Amino acid sequence: MNPPRTFRTSLGSYALLCGVLSVPLLLLAGGALAGGHVERTALLLSAVPPAAAALWLAGFKLRIDDSGIEYRSLLGGSFRIPYSEIDSLRTHTIRTSRGLYRQWVLQLRDGRSLPMNLKPFVSSAYSVLLQRIRGGA
């Protein structure tokens, strides 16, 4: 019997997304600290994007146990699937005008496909998930 593994959003995902979205807030805060006049409304509004991103990232969860997989994301919904219903985990690379995008898809035995966003998790989440799907320890 393997202990359940629960993966949450990695600190790197928070740092990257929230850090980029915090640039206007940091610029305004720096201006206020330097003695310049900064509207409070502008300061508060510039805090909304990083706060919203942090809440969004906090919604991601991947739980892997002996019976199956539980996955939750804010935009993709959530599901609980036993291993007996999973045929494979596939990775697709999609080319867009912005570059390459990797998408993970659970192929189920009944023909359905369930997309998963594994980017917010630590890189070992994919390895553990693939190992469990294949029936390994």
In a domain, residue 26? The reply is yes
**Per the domain annotation, does 3 fall within a domain?**
no
For residues 71 and 84, membership in a common domain is answered with yes
Is the domain of 36 the same as that of 68?
no
Domain ranges, residue 33: 8-57
Tens of pLDDT along 18-48?
999 999 999 988 888 888 777 889 889 999 9
Answer yes or no: is 72 within a domain. Answer: yes
According to the model, what pLDDT value does residue 137 have?
46
Domain membership flag for residue 1: no
15 phi and psi angles, rounded to 5 deg: -60, -45
Q: Report pLDDT for 136.
A: 54
- Which pLDDT belongs to residue 50? 96
Shared-domain flag, residues 25 and 85: no
Tell me, yes or no, whether 45 lies in a domain. yes
pLDDT below 70 — which residues of the chain?
76, 136-137
Domain count, the chain: 2
Q: What residues form DSSP beta bridges with 61?
A: 8, 72
Any domain includes 82: yes
Residue pair 56/74 in contact (Cβ under 8 Å)? The answer is yes
Q: For residue 125, with 0-12 CB atoms within 10 Å meaning exposed, 13-18 middle and 19 or more buried, which class applies?
A: buried
Are 90 and 118 in the same domain? yes
- For residue 128, the domain's CATH number is 2.30.29
User: Sheet containing 61-64: which strands, arranged edge to edge?
Assistant: 5-8, 61-64, 68-73, 77-82
Return the pLDDT at 135: 80
Residues 45 and 70 in one domain: no
For residues 118 and 6, the answer to whether their CB atoms sit within 8 Å is no
Write the DSSP string, the chain. -PPPEEEE--HHHHHHHHHHHTHHHHHHHHHHHTT----HHHHHHHHHHHHHHHHHHHT-EEEE-SSEEEEEETTTEEEEEEGGGEEEEEEEEEEETTEEEEEEEEEETTS-EEEE--TTS-THHHHHHHHHHTT--
